Chains A and B, each alone.
Chain A
Amino acid sequence: MDDESLEDWFCREVLPLERSLTHFIRRNTRVADDVIDLRHDVYELAITGARKGLPSSTRAYLFTIARNHLINRAKRARIVSFDLVADLEAIDKDIDFLEAERHLDARDALRQVQAGLENLSPRVREIVRLRKIEGLDVRETAERLGIGKDAVNHQLMMGMKALADFMAGGPGKIVRPKSVGRRMKDAEK
């Protein structure tokens, strides 16, 4: 399986499941901060596995990987909550088959992008707008707004990540490098 077909499969079949997958991981882990990392792991395992051949049912394949990964991780953790492992062993039928994936037509997709843009902070939104609608590049954007190119790059990156989260059904909030949650976790140690 070459990378081009893998990428096509990943965007067409895996990404529309992101909302359900995130929901599933969140429900089965105790640490909210770990959800994004766990999802990243699951995507990685899914791509590696599919290289030998694409699965016939992407949904079943993806959630089986997620479930096994969560179980392995719980078992490896130094302090294992038996309840958590027991709950995970039982989730086979718990996998959310009812939640419809979102197949969007062009107009829905446009609306979703707009909603994602609305969700950004005004500064980031303006920069994404200049890039996508006015077609300005980083240098032109920096000149237009009277700020440095690095600042434009930085905000563009934040906007891109927040849009990706939003369009997959996540919160679409901009994640600042040092979150309150992380500080609290550090303070506990």
Chain B
Amino acid sequence: MSRAQQANDRAAAFIIAQEDGNWNSASQAQLGAWLAESDGNKAAYWRLKHSWREADRISALGHGRAEPGQASRPARRRWWVWASVAASIIIAIGGVYEQWPQMESPSQQMAGYQTAVGGLKDVTLSDGSHIQLNTASRVRTSLTAHRREAWLESGEAFFEVAHRSGAPFVVHAGDHQVTVLGTKFSLRREGNNLKVAVLEGRVRVDELKDGRPVRSAVIEGGDIAIAEDSALFVTSRSGQAVENALAWRQGMLEFNQAPLSEVAAEFNRYNKRQIVVTDPDAAGFRIGGMFPASNPDAFVRLLHDAYGLQVVTTDSEIKISS
């Protein structure tokens, strides 16, 4: 447990004990000694005591249920509202600029790209940046002279961003936005979870709440960041893992001792015929190596021939059991 957490827990315990009737001079002396130990202890105690005292205000509501406050958690979809507001602001600015012909033409260019299951698509944007879309992915872009934006609506994409001073490149993905500081990186989105793998340069990942960043991390070449709900994990210096995560660009899937359940899920992103692992023993089987994403048959043959797993193939499924 960290120092701050420890101090917080002790402070909270003291405050509860103080309210509880059995508080005596010995307890008071104990509190005094603990506070004298460090100013950090004082900070924790004063802070909790203050807000706990503030919370007394609800006693003004009297007996009965407290009415739910309005400021409960924001809807998941709120971000999209924000995005459309932002987009309309950009369009509005574009319109204003056209009134000043002496300015360089910041006309806005918007486009959308998508791939089907198993697809792989290369896109070159008008600013010279490249986007490579992986299987079942959707990206929208909006470019002006002053701001470049992309929205990863689903799936995974690799970005190679051409440097333009004065025109930042921002990728939005649900509750997160990634600001490019000149780089090559890939983004993978599953619902609100996001995985960022940086090949070169740096990016900044912001978690947004009501359109405002509440948490940020700078990710460098060789780093992977995983954002899940409101947690952001950064793995540093994992160059090999970045390479693995980018193998799809060559139409390959690369695994380093990944469980079969994960490998199957990965293949299933690229193929309509799904691999189903039917028992936990088989699901925990560790797989390493590189396989063509579009050819699960070769992969399951290997499972059968080399590892003796049972394989039953139908038109829609490949069932694997131990």
With both beta carbons as reference points, the residue of chain B lying nearest to A175 in the complex is identified as B5
Give 25 pairs: A residue, B residue, CB < 8 Å, sorted on A: A3-B35, A11-B50, A15-B47, A15-B50, A30-B236, A44-B38, A45-B39, A47-B43, A106-B57, A109-B54, A110-B58, A113-B57, A115-B69, A117-B55, A118-B72, A119-B72, A133-B58, A137-B20, A160-B51, A161-B9, A163-B52, A167-B51, A177-B1, A184-B233, A188-B235
A146 at the interface (CB under 8 A from B): no
List residues of chain A with CB under 8 Å of any chain B CB.
3, 6-7, 10-11, 15, 23, 26-27, 30-32, 36-37, 39-41, 43-48, 51, 81, 83-84, 87, 106, 109-119, 128-129, 131-135, 137-138, 153, 156-157, 160-161, 163-164, 167-168, 171, 173, 175, 177, 179-181, 184, 188
**Cα distance A48–B38 when bound, in Å?**
9
Across-interface contacts of A44 in B (CB, < 8 A): 38-40, 43
Instruction: Report whether B43 and A10 are in contact in the complex, using a CB–CB cutoff of 8 Å.
Output: yes
Asked if B319 is at the interface of the complex by the 8 Å CB criterion, the answer is no
A164 touches B57 (CB 8 A): no
B25 at interface by CB-CB < 8 Å: no
Within 8 Å by CB of A43, from B19, B43, B214, B232, lies B43
List residues of chain B with CB within 8 A of the CB of A167. 51, 54-55
Are A133 and B12 within 8 A (Cβ)?
A: no
Contact B42 A7 (CB under 8 A): yes
Distance, CA A7 to CA B41, complexed state (A): 12
Contact with A along B158-172 (1 / 0, CB 8 A): 000000000000000
Name the segment of B59-67, B105-113, B271-279, B305-313 touching the other chain: B59-67
- Closest residue of chain B to A35 (Cβ to Cβ) is B215
Taking a contact as CB atoms under 8 Å apart, the answer to whether A163 and B67 are in contact is no
Inter-subunit contact A114/B58 (CB<8 Å)? yes
Bound-state Cα–Cα, A176 to B232, Å: 17
- Chain B residue, CB-CB nearest to A128: B55
- Whether the Cβ atoms of A117 and B46 lie closer than 8 Å is no
Supplied contacts A163-B52, A164-B48, A177-B1, 14 more A-B pairs, CB within 8 Å: A10-B42, A26-B214, A27-B216, A30-B217, A32-B232, A43-B39, A83-B202, A113-B58, A116-B55, A118-B71, A129-B65, A135-B59, A137-B20, A160-B48
> Contact partner of A137 among B12, B19, B59, B61, CB < 8 A?
B19
Interface size on B, residues (CB 8 A): 63
Question: By the criterion CB–CB under 8 Å, are B42 and A168 in contact?
Answer: no
Say whether A181 contacts B43, CB under 8 Å.
no
Please tell me if B145 contacts chain A, counting CB pairs below 8 Å: no
What are the residues of chain B within 8 A of A110 when measuring CB–CB?
A: 57-58, 60
B residues near A160, Cβ cutoff 8 Å: 12, 15-16, 48, 51-52
Distance, CA A184 to CA B235, complexed state (A): 9
A47 to B39, Cβ gap below 8 A?
yes
Closest A-B pairs by Cβ, 10 of them: A40-B4, A114-B69, A43-B43, A115-B69, A44-B40, A115-B71, A47-B39, A164-B51, A157-B12, A11-B50
Chain A residues with CB under 8 Å of B235's CB are 188
B289 within 8 A of A: no
Interface 1/0 per residue, B1-33 and A, CB below 8 Å:
111110111001101100111000000000000
Is B51 within 8 A of A41, CB to CB?
no
Residues of A close to B19: CB separation below 8 A: 131, 137
Query: What CA separation (Å) do A40 and B232 show in the bound complex?
Result: 21
Whether a CB of chain A sits under 8 angstroms from the CB of B56 is yes
What is the distance, in angstroms, from A171's C-beta to the closest C-beta of chain B? Answer: 7
A109 to B57, CA, bound (A): 8
Cβ of A30 and Cβ of B38 under 8 Å apart?
A: no
Contact in complex: A133, B62 (CB < 8 Å): yes
Distance of B62 from chain A, by nearest CB (Å)? 7
Q: A109-B54, A163-B52 are in contact. Are A157 and B16 (CB under 8 A)?
A: yes
**Given the known A-B contacts A15-B47, A30-B218, are A157 and B54 also in contact in the complex, defined by CB atoms under 8 Å?**
no
Contact A163–B51 (Cβ < 8 Å): yes
Partner of B43, one of A40, A116, A168, A171: A40
Q: How far is the CB of A107 from chain B (nearest CB, A)?
A: 10
* Bound Cα distance A163, B16 (Å): 14
The smallest beta-carbon distance between A170 and chain B, in angstroms, is: 9
B298 within 8 A of A: no
How many Å from the CB of A78 to the closest CB on chain B?
A: 12
A130 to B70, CA, bound (A): 21
Which residues on A sit within 8 Å (CB–CB) of B12?
156-157, 160-161
